[in-house]
Structure 1
Amino acid sequence: MFVDVAKIYVKAGDGGNGSVSFRREKYVPFGGPDGGDGGDGGDIVFVVDNGMRTLLDFKYKKKYEAQSGANGAGSNMFGRDGEDLILKVPPGTVIRDAETNRIIADLTKEGQRATVAKGGRGGRGNARFATPTRQAPDFAEPGMPGEERWVVLELKLLADVGLIGFPNVGKSTILSMVTGAKPKIANYHFTTLTPNLGVVDIHGAKGFVLADIPGLIEGAHEGVGLGIEFLRHVERTRLLVHVIDVSGIEGRDPVDDFYKINEELKLYSEKLANKPQLVAANKSDIPGSEENLKRLKEEMDKIGIKVFKISAATNQGLRELMLYVSSLLDTIPVEEAEEEEMFIPEEKRFTYEIKRDDDGAFVISGSFVDRLLMSANIYDSESLKYFHKVLEKHGIIQKLKDMGIEDGDTVRMNDFEFEFVE
C-alpha cells in the first residue's frame, strides 16, 4: 500500500518539576535548601530514512508523545531529561502545521533531521531561589509543558523524470521496459493507482530516476480522479515525458490530449506547466497511427517540443528516448526545494486576565496564575513574599490599582482568596 499523506498528533515531553528539599545532615541542624531542578522534556524529531518509501507507518498510529523529564530531588539531584522521540520518514516528506498549513520542514536527504515539537524546560528547584535574605525558600517551579500540535506529513516523490499522460497510454509499460521496476499493468483505466519508481541505467549514459505517475484526467487540479495526488508528485521532477497514445483505438485525439493535460498542469501550478517536456508517441506500431503521429509532430514543431516515435510493448524507440532524456538532464539544474512561508512556533507565554466578579471581587485567571500557584507555597511567609514580588514584577498589582482596587477588597485566584492591602 502506498500512503503519501498522513495527519498525526505530536506532543513533546513536559519538563520535570523542581524539588523542594532541605539538607538534613548530622551536625547541620539548619541545612540550607538543596532541591534539584527537573529534567527537560524530550523533543519530537523527524529523521529521513532512505529505506522507507511510504508514510504507511503513520496511517494506523496517529498520536506520538515524547518522554517527560523526571522531577528533581534532594541533595541537589537534577531530574533526568526525557528521551527524544525519533520518527523516521522517507525522503521527500514535507511536514506542515495542520492549523496554518505552513511548512515546518522539507526533508529530502538521508539523515536530515527536524525538531517539530520542543520539550518543556524543567522547573527550578528551591536551591535556585536562595538569596541572602531568603535563606530557606519553601517553593520550586513546576516544569514547562512540551509543545503539541497536529501536523500533516506529505510525501513528494524525488524523481528526475516524470511520465505523464492520460490513463492507459502505456506509462507503466515504458517504466517496466527501461527499468527493473515491475508495476501492475493491465488494459484498463487507472491500473496505476500509486506512483512507481525505477532507475534507468543505459550503457553510455548517466542513470536517472524515472517515475510512472498515475494517469491524469480533466479536473485534476480540483482533485477530480487522482487529481492533487498525481500533481503533488510531478512537482519535484526536472523533466516531463508526456506519453500520448497515437493509435486512436480509444477514440481519443492525441493533439487534444496533449493540450488538455498541459492545461491541468497550468491550472495547478504555472511553474509545473513550464517544466521541460518531451512527447513519447506511444502505440505507433498499431495500424492507422501514422496520420495521428504526423499531425502530432506538426503541432509539436510549432511549439518547439521534440516527439519520439515509440512502442512500449515492442521496445521500439525506447533506448533512443532514454539516451536523449539522460543527455537533456545534464543541462537542467537540480532545483532546491521551493521556498514557502515557513511555520514559526509562537513563543510560549503565560497569560492572565483580570475581571470584576458580581460580588465585587477582582478575579485573576489564566495560565500565568495556574503556574504561579503551582510554584508558590502561600502558607509560607518567604514564599508569599516571592508570590507578591512576581505579581508586582508582571504589572498585576498596578493593573489592579488602575481598575480601582482599594484596601480590604477581595482578590480571587482559582480556589484562593486574598485581601488586598496597600
Structure 2
Amino acid sequence: MASSNFIDYVKLNVKSGAGGAGSMHFRREKHVEKGGPDGGDGGRGGHVILKGNAQLWTLLHLKYTKHIKAFDGKGGEGGRRSGAEGKDIILEVPLGTIAKLAETGEELFEITEDGQQVILLRGGRGGMGNDHFKSSTNQTPQYAQPGEAGLEAWVILELKVLADVGLVGFPNAGKSTLLSAVSAARPEIADYPFTTLVPNLGVVSYRDFKSFVMADIPGIIEGASQGKGLGLRFLRHIERNSILLFLIPATTENINAEYQTLLQELRLYNPSLLDKNRILAVSKMDILLPEEWDELKLTAPAEIRVIPISAITQEGIEQLKDAIWRSINETLPVR
C-alpha cells in the first residue's frame, strides 16, 4: 500500500438523526361525532454505524469526510400511522479500527470482524402520538411527544493493523527485505533509515497450503514511546499482532543490548506487549563470516532462541517460518 494512501487516523464530527414528532390527531369519520385520539408515533432518527470490512486496509476513504449526519425520523400521522425511521449512515472501516471520543480519549469499541456492526451514535427516539395518552379521565389528550434530538460528537477512528506476526526492529534492520522475501508484498527497500513510513502487510505461505499474515512496521528508535521519530504512529500497530518477531541485523555489536532497548520501548509504551509470544532473528547473515557469527552470538540473550537468517540467501528462512507457525498455535507465551 502506498504511503500516500495509508491513513490510520481520522477525526470526524458525527451526528445521529433526530426522532420524528408524535402526531396529535383525532379520528374524523362520517357519522362519528367524537372520534378518539389516533395520533401515530414519530419514527426514530437514523443511527451512525461502523461496519467492519475485511477488504479495507486504510481509512483513506474517510480522510476528507469531516462531517457525517444521519437522517431525521419522520413525524407520526393520524390513523395511528407511525412515521418512517430516519436512514442510518453506515461507515465501513478496516478490521482493527478503534473508535474514541475526541474530547476525553475514552475508547468506545473496536471493530475486529468482517461484517461486524456497532452503533457509534444512536438516533433520537420518535415521540409518542396522542393515542398513548388517552385515559378514562382524559379522553381527548391535546398532547403528543416531540421527537428526541440526535446526538453529536467529535470522534477519532484509529486503525491498528491486524496481523499474526509484527516485525519489530530499529530502522534499516532488514524488515522490509524479509517481508518481500517471504511474501508477495513489495515494500519500498533502501539502505537508509525510515524507508518504511507505513505498515506493510504480506501473506506468508507455509507448508500444506497454510499461511499467516506478517506486518512490516516502521522502525523503532530510542524514545519512540515518548513520540520521537515515528513514535506513537507505529507503536499502536504492534498491539494487534499475535507474535512479535524481533529483527536485529548482523551489523550490530551486541545482540542482547539492542534486544533490551527494543523491549524497553515496548514496555514504556504498553507493558502488556511483553506478554505476547516473541521470536528473535538476526538478519543479514550473508555479510558475516562463520567465525564472525561465532563471536557475535556470544552476545545473544540466553532467555530466547535466536534464529540467524538471510533474506538474500534464504538461510534460516524455513526454520523461522516453523518457529512462527508453532508460536501462532501455542496458547502460552514463548520465551
TM-score if structure 2 supplies the norm length? 0.91
Query: Which residue in 2 is equivalent to 1:269?
Result: 270
> 1:279, 1:306 within 8 Å by CA — same for their partners in 2?
yes
**Mapped partners of 1:35, 1:332: distance in 2:** 60
The question of 1:326 aligning with 2:325 is answered yes
1:41 to 35, 40, 45: 45
> 1:206, 1:326 within 8 Å by CA — same for their partners in 2?
no
- 1:267 CA drift (Å): 1.0
Query: Given residue 297 of structure 1, which amino acid in structure 2 is its aligned partner?
Result: K
**Mapped partners of 1:74, 1:159: distance in 2:** 55
- 1:25 CA drift (Å): 2.2
Q: Please give the per-residue CA displacement for 1:169-195, whole angstroms capped at 9, x wherever unaligned.
A: 110010001011111112221111111
SS at match of 1:146: coil
SS at match of 2:262: helix
Superposition CA RMSD, Å:
2.1
SS at match of 2:286: coil
Segment of structure 1 superposing worse, 200-209 or 119-128:
200-209
Residues 58 and 14 of structure 1: is their aligned pair in 2 closer, same or farther, counting only changes over 3 Å?
same
Query: Which residue in 1 is equivalent to 2:165?
Result: 161
> 2:21, 2:42 within 8 Å by CA — same for their partners in 1?
yes
> 1:205, 1:327 within 8 Å by CA — same for their partners in 2?
no
**Identical pairs, percent:** 46
**Mapped partners of 2:38, 2:251: distance in 1:** 85
SS at match of 1:191: coil
Query: Which residue in 1 is equivalent to 2:282?
Result: 281
> 2:256, 2:301 within 8 Å by CA — same for their partners in 1?
no
Give unpaired runs (5+ residues) of structure 2.
Answer: none
Segment of structure 1 superposing worse, 215-224 or 262-271:
262-271
Query: Which residue in 1 is equivalent to 2:257?
Result: 256
Larger Rg: 1
**Mapped partners of 1:104, 1:287: distance in 2:** 50
Residues 187 and 244 of structure 1: is their aligned pair in 2 closer, same or farther, counting only changes over 3 Å?
same
2:234 to 211, 230, 235: 230
**Mapped partners of 2:189, 2:284: distance in 1:** 15
The question of 1:2 aligning with 2:6 is answered yes
**Mapped partners of 1:205, 1:299: distance in 2:** 37
- 1:320 CA drift (Å): 2.0
Query: Given residue 306 of structure 2, which amino acid in structure 1 is its aligned partner?
Result: V
**Mapped partners of 2:183, 2:306: distance in 1:** 21
Query: Which residue in 2 is equivalent to 1:397?
Result: none
SS at match of 2:263: helix
SS at match of 1:160: strand
Give unpaired runs (5+ residues) of structure 1.
Answer: 335-422
Query: Given residue 284 of structure 1, which amino acid in structure 2 is its aligned partner?
Result: M
> 2:22, 2:144 within 8 Å by CA — same for their partners in 1?
yes
1:189 to 193, 197, 211: 193
Q: Please give the per-residue CA displacement for 1:105-140, whole angstroms capped at 9, x wherever unaligned.
A: 121111112112111111112222222322222221
Query: Which residue in 1 is equivalent to 2:58?
Result: 54
- 1:100 CA drift (Å): 2.9
**Mapped partners of 2:318, 2:80: distance in 1:** 72
Q: How does 1:6-45 map to 2 (within 5 A)?
A: 6-45=10-49
> 1:255, 1:295 within 8 Å by CA — same for their partners in 2?
no
Structure with the bigger RCO (C-alpha within 8 Å, sep 6+) is: 2
TM-score if structure 1 supplies the norm length? 0.73
1:103 to 89, 102, 107: 107
Query: Given residue 308 of structure 2, which amino acid in structure 1 is its aligned partner?
Result: K
- 1:253 CA drift (Å): 5.1
